[in-house]
Amino acid sequence: MFYSTRSKLIISFLGVSILVGIISLFVGIQLLYKTVLNEAKTRIRLDLNAAREIYLSHINTIHTALSIATFDGELHSYLDSKQTGKLKQKLRSISQQIGMDFAGIVMENGEILCRTGPDATPGVSQQVQNPVANYVLKHGTAVSGTVILKKEFLIAEGPELAAQARIELLPTPMAAPRMEKEETSGMSLASGIPLYENGELFGVLYGGILLNRNNEIVDTVRETVFQDETFKGRVIGTATIFFKDLRISTNVITPEGERAIGTRVSREVRDRVLIDGKRWTDRAFVVSDWYITAYEPILDIYGQRVGILYVGVLEAKYADVRRNVLSVFIFITFAGMIIAIGLGYIMANKITRPVRQLIQASNEVSRGNLKPDIGPISKNETGVLQKTFSEMLSHLRERDRLQKVESEDKLLLSEKLSSIGRLAAGVAHEINNPLTGVLTFTHMLLRRSDINEEVRSDLKTIAQETGRVRKIVKGLLDFARQTKLDPETTDINWLVESTIALVKNEALVNGLNLEFNPAEELPVHTVDRSQLQSVLLNIMINAFDTTKPGGNVTVTTGLGISASKTEQKGIEIAISDSGYGILPEHLDKLFDPFFTTKDVGNGTGLGLAVSYGIIERHGGTIRVQSKVGKGSTFTIWLPLEGQCEK
Amino acid sequence: MKSKKILVLDDDRIVLESCKRVLEAEGFKVFLVSSAREAVELLTTGYFDLMIMDVKMPEHDGMYLLEKIKEKWPLDIWPELPVVVMSGYPTPDTISESLVRGAREFLVKPFTPDELISSTYKALKRSKKHGKSKSISDR
């Protein structure tokens, strides 16, 4: 499968941004929520402290009011005079002032002197246990706090109190099971103040508030601590007073919209707070919602854990915060991803565009277009590649051009040579027969003795000139003949030397200095000895012809590289002379058949053309360098590999 | 000495004439034919000491004729007809092929009378070296 660099880049960018996004989402939200939750828990603990203070302040109010009452002169005069009717009025007015549900005076012998509720039978000792009075009488000190009141006491204090205290237990999920169907006892805030006369305790003034179905404290907590804050129409802050695990005073609302009195706390909270006596601060499911909650046990005046004080705030508020944060995070992540894609796309494009253009350009080059568009040069590594690529292209173009020129030249020359060759062969063949006749009859005439000298001289001229024709035709045929090569493994130095031996005398006669500089180590080569020799002879004789006496003809052998772009390895034989040189305009006609600069009759103009053909068939080339007046160098180059064509 | 009989085959009249003039001047009996068919006819009816032939002719070329001679006369006797092959367009191929097929000499056109004479004698001389001159008609 092939993925472009661009998609890879985009995918990597995307991957990184998704990873970062998700990690920050989870970690961020966890951290944030933990912090918020901890903050909320800390706050709720403080809230619970505030609630407790409110709870205790109510106790203090009762205590203070009753303490003040014991110093009331009126009260004492009524006590002294046993005016129970007045006393009752007095107690009722105090109760009303501070909102007490019950109050009364119990004498040292347990007789109830008076109470705000229905009158007790005078003179009858207290049949019903009064926990507050009992405590004071037993310890001789004032007491204030939470007190559990039995149903009998409540009935005695007033039937309406007993009714208020009776709470039916509602089925509550997660609560610990309880056998009873209803709670008839009451939980109260009460105070008992000892009454002394001349240093002697003679009675107890008591009073208190029944907490069952009395929502004053919890509503005060809600109002003062949570300031009636609402969230989506629901009150955030809630407070509850539990009697054991039962809600007796609360502003937690049931789904039906009523105060959740009669429902109970979960077993988990009960076990920890009521049984273990510890605080609880955590999220908890309260009635029908999740709350961040704080619970602490309520101790009665005997130090028994009798109830629980609870405050809680709707978790929904914080959950909403979490939801908001979550959506912000998600939004940021998505935005980041989109930016990453965009950025990736742009960068990938920036990086890959030149590369893609290069790929396209190379495709075009392979299809033969050597001038493809490679786009603007980048200022990075790709730019280096582009520059190298375009340099390579220009080399290719130059090479292409040279090759074209070379092969065109070559083709032209070989076409010219072969057509001339065919023509020559045809002509030669036809001419040979009549020439045979001319030669024969001329010679036959010359044999006769009955001819005079003038005729003989003329006949000789005919014979001579016919001989010349024969030579020309022979040259033509040599040139045209597509002679098969007969390659043999040959030491080129030896071949050159033996050729030089053949022409040594001629060089001497012409007064020329013939030299041979053999290469020291020359690989053996496979050539047609006689044909190569005729080429060497031809070029050497030409050199002799153009060089004045006293001049030099030098033959050099060596290794050389082909003049073509392929830079093939090969062997070179260079024949230099210090002759007239070749006129520049003659240079490209040099190998044409019948081209000669020699006097008419001295050359056929076929020697070099034939030589060219022979070397070409060997896969080699002949190069000529010449300077007029300085001399010429003919360089024969023969390839070392793929040497001969057959 | 009885004059030797030479059969000359060429499709060009002037070549035939030239050969006739030169060889007759040397004292040979010269017979001229201008096609391979005629040559085969003559060869089957009479004895010749030498045949001079061109290898390249319109009807059948000389190679064909050499092949024909080889077919017609078994291997043990055919070398006894020495053959000189002429060509106006000698290539190493035609030369070597001719020699393989039994030619004794190869003559390049155009030739001078001296060249013709020297080739003729050379071919005859070689033939003599083989000794046992035996006429075809004897058989």
Higher pLDDT, A562 or A523: A523
pTM check: above 0.90: no
* Maximum mean pLDDT: which of A79-83, A561-565, A633-637: A633-637
- CB < 8 Å to B18, chain A: 436-437, 439-441
Q: What backbone torsions phi and psi does residue A468 show, to the nearest 5 degrees?
A: -65, -45
Same domain, A382 and A349: no
Q: Are A284 and A204 in contact (CB under 8 A)?
A: no
* pLDDT for position A250: 92
Q: Do B113 and A429 touch (CB under 8 A)?
A: no
Please tell me the total count of domains within chain A.
Answer: 3
State pLDDT tens for residues A404-433. Answer: 887 777 667 666 666 776 777 777 777 888
* pLDDT for position A598: 62
How many angstroms away from the CA of A482 is the closest CA of chain B?
Answer: 9
* Maximum mean pLDDT: which of A10-14, A35-39, A77-81, A205-209: A205-209
Nearest to B22 among A429, A430, A440 (CB): A440
Q: Do B89 and A466 touch (CB under 8 A)?
A: no
CA–CA gap between residue A309 and residue A294 (Å, rounded): 8
The CATH number of whichever domain residue A474 belongs to comes to 1.10.287.130
Q: What is the mean pLDDT of residues A470-498?
A: 78
Chain A residue whose CA is closest to B89: A429
Q: Where are the domains of chain B?
A: 5-138
Q: Do A439 and B91 touch (CB under 8 A)?
A: no
Distances (CA, A) of A642 to A300, A360, A561, A577: 120, 36, 14, 31
Residue A409: which domain range? 377-482
A98 by Cβ neighbours in 10 Å (0-12 / 13-18 / 19+) ranks as: middle
Same domain, A298 and A280: yes
Q: What is the DSSP letter of A274?
A: I
| CATH of the domain spanning B5-138 | 3.40.50.2300
Say how many C-beta atoms besides its own lie within 10 A of residue A9's C-beta.
21
pLDDT category, A643, cuts 50, 70, 90?
very low
Q: What is the mean pLDDT of residues A51-66?
A: 92
How many angstroms away from the CA of A497 is the closest CA of chain B?
Answer: 26
Same domain, A17 and A33: yes
Same domain, A453 and A507: no
Same domain, A272 and A396: no
Cis peptide before A131 (omega within 30 of 0): no
CA–CA gap between residue A28 and residue A31 (Å, rounded): 5
Final residue belonging to a domain, choices A419, A452, A482: A482
**Inter-chain CB pairs, A–B, below 8 Å:** 68
Residue A393: both structure tokens together:
């292209």
**The pairing of beta strand A182-183 with beta strand A167-168:** antiparallel
Q: What is the mean pLDDT of residues A68-92?
A: 85
How many angstroms away from the CA of A441 is the closest CA of chain B?
Answer: 7
How many angstroms away from the CA of B6 is the closest CA of chain A?
Answer: 18
Q: Are A181 and A169 in contact (CB under 8 A)?
A: yes
Mean pLDDT over the full length of chain B: 76
Same domain, A285 and A342: yes
Same domain, A532 and A641: yes
Say how many C-beta atoms besides its own lie within 10 A of residue A621's C-beta.
20
Q: Are A143 and A132 in contact (CB under 8 A)?
A: yes
Same domain, A294 and A407: no
Q: How much of chain A exceeds pLDDT 70, in percent?
A: 91
Residue A540: both structure tokens together:
């050497």
Q: Do A466 and B15 touch (CB under 8 A)?
A: no
* pLDDT for position A243: 92
Q: What backbone torsions phi and psi does residue A155 show, to the nearest 5 degrees?
A: -60, -40
User: Coil, strand, or helix at residue A181?
Assistant: coil
For an interface test with B, which of A429, A430, A433, A614 has the most B Cβ atoms less than 10 Å from its Cβ? A433
β strands within A69-111, DSSP E: 102-107
* pLDDT for position A601: 47
The CATH number of whichever domain residue A569 belongs to comes to 3.30.565.10
Task: Decide if pLDDT at A599 tops 60.
Answer: no
* pLDDT for position A483: 57
CA–CA gap between residue A416 and residue A589 (Å, rounded): 12
Q: How much of chain A exceeds pLDDT 90, in percent?
A: 18
Which residues in A541-553 are b (16+ Cβ under 10 Å) and which e? ebbbebbeeebeb
* pLDDT for position A144: 93
Q: Do B14 and A483 touch (CB under 8 A)?
A: no
Which residues in A399-420 are b (16+ Cβ under 10 Å) and which e? eeeeeeeeeeeeeebeeebeeb
Is this complex scored with an ipTM above 0.90?
no
Q: Residues 6 or more apart from A348 whose CB is under 8 A from it?
A: A5, A6, A7, A8, A9, A10
CA–CA gap between residue A164 and residue A211 (Å, rounded): 9
Task: Decide if pLDDT at A387 tops 80.
Answer: yes
Final residue belonging to a domain, choices A338, A370, A402: A370
Same domain, A360 and A390: no
CA–CA gap between residue A219 and residue A225 (Å, rounded): 10
Mean pLDDT over the full length of chain A: 83
Chain B residue whose CA is closest to A425: B89
Task: Decide if pLDDT at B132 tops 70.
Answer: no
Task: Decide if pLDDT at A603 tops 90.
Answer: no
DSSP-assigned beta bridge partners for residue A526: A489
State pLDDT tens for residues A219-251. Answer: 988 888 888 788 777 778 899 999 989 999 998
Say how many C-beta atoms besides its own lie within 10 A of residue A161's C-beta.
22
Q: What is the mean pLDDT of residues A135-150?
A: 91
For an interface test with B, which of A431, A432, A473 has the most B Cβ atoms less than 10 Å from its Cβ? A432
Axis crossing angle, helix A315-366 with helix A5-70, rounded to the nearest 10:
170
Q: Do B110 and A483 touch (CB under 8 A)?
A: no
State pLDDT tens for residues B27-85. Answer: 999 999 988 888 888 887 778 888 898 887 655 567 777 777 766 654 444 456 788 88
Q: Which residues of A touch B (CB under 8 A)?
A: 425, 428-441, 443-444, 447, 466, 470, 473, 477, 481, 483-484, 486
Distances (CA, A) of B115 to A464, B107, B109: 16, 8, 10
Q: Are A301 and A135 in contact (CB under 8 A)?
A: yes
- CB < 8 Å to A447, chain B: 25, 113
Same domain, A351 and A462: no
For an interface test with A, which of B84, B109, B116, B119 has the most A Cβ atoms less than 10 Å from its Cβ? B109
User: Coil, strand, or helix at residue A281?
Assistant: strand
CA–CA gap between residue B89 and residue B110 (Å, rounded): 10
Q: What is the DSSP letter of A105?
A: E
pLDDT category, A642, cuts 50, 70, 90?
low
Distances (CA, A) of B135 to B5, B47, B122, B125, B127: 12, 6, 20, 17, 13
The CATH number of whichever domain residue A347 belongs to comes to 3.30.450.220
Same domain, A193 and A113: yes
- CB < 8 Å to B110, chain A: 432-433, 435-436, 438-439, 466, 470, 473
Residues 27-86 of B with CB under 8 A from A: 56
Q: Do A436 and B22 touch (CB under 8 A)?
A: no
Final residue belonging to a domain, choices A307, A342, A370: A370
DSSP for A347-372, written as a single string: HHHHHHHHHHHHHHHHHHHHTT-SS-
Task: Decide if pLDDT at A627 tops 50.
Answer: yes
Residue A174: both structure tokens together:
């997660």
Distance separating the N- and C-terminal Cα atoms of chain A:
50
* pLDDT for position A645: 42
Q: What is the mean pLDDT of residues A541-554?
A: 88
Q: Are A470 and A435 in contact (CB under 8 A)?
A: yes
Helices (H) then strands (E): counts for chain B: 5, 5
Same domain, A100 and A198: yes
State pLDDT tens for residues A297-350. Answer: 999 999 999 999 999 988 887 777 778 878 887 888 788 778 877 887 887 777
In this structure, the dihedral spanned by the alpha carbons of residues A113, A115, A121 and A127, taken in order and rounded to 10 degrees, is -90
* pLDDT for position B130: 47
State pLDDT tens for residues B81-124. Answer: 788 888 887 766 677 777 777 677 888 888 989 999 998 998 88
Distances (CA, A) of A532 to A24, A196, A255, A322: 87, 157, 119, 99
Q: Are A539 and A556 in contact (CB under 8 A)?
A: no
